[in-house]
Amino acid sequence: MNTDLTNLIITQIKKAKYYSIIMDSTPDLSKTDQMTIVLRYCTPTSVNERLVKLCPFDNHKGQSLYFILEKYLKSVGLNIEDCRGQSYDNAANMSGKYEGLQSYVKDKNNLAVYIPCTAHSFNLVGVYSVDCCIEAVSFFGFVQ
């Protein structure tokens, strides 16, 4: 990412003081998992979500993901104690109460409220709803 743009975003976040974390991962074309770190913050006139980091990773455990996050926040001078929210998908490594990423963030900052990603939750509702109907399973199997 462009360093000047990233520095501008981090400066805005520091000025705002409080921020929220959104993280998700997906494999790229070479089948390497890429983790996105998006920070959400407010200015007096707007609410902003900015992609600040895209990094490859190979260990999917919550603690390893926390180390990636912690390393990034320290590298740009953001304090985890200023985080007020966190949102991830419903996978256990992200949302798990004891070993998920959200639990490691909560251990460092109890004020970082965890809210599951609504889009991922709605997708799961759709998946499980379709599974109940044999015709829908056949249709989507055919389409796929």
Residue 23 DSSP label: E
Residues 34, 38, 43, CA angle at the centre, nearest 5°?
Answer: 165
| β 19-27/33-42 pair status | antiparallel
Task: Please list the pLDDT of the chain residue by residue as tens digits (144 residues).
Answer: 678 899 999 999 999 999 999 998 887 788 888 889 999 999 999 999 999 999 888 888 989 999 999 999 999 999 999 999 998 877 767 778 888 899 999 999 999 998 876 665 556 666 666 677 777 777 767 766
Token pair of 62 as six digits: 């919550």
Pick the CATH number of 3-118 from 3.30.420, 3.40.630, 1.20.120, 1.10.40: 3.30.420
Q: Supply angle C-alpha 77, 83, 88, rounded to 5.
A: 110
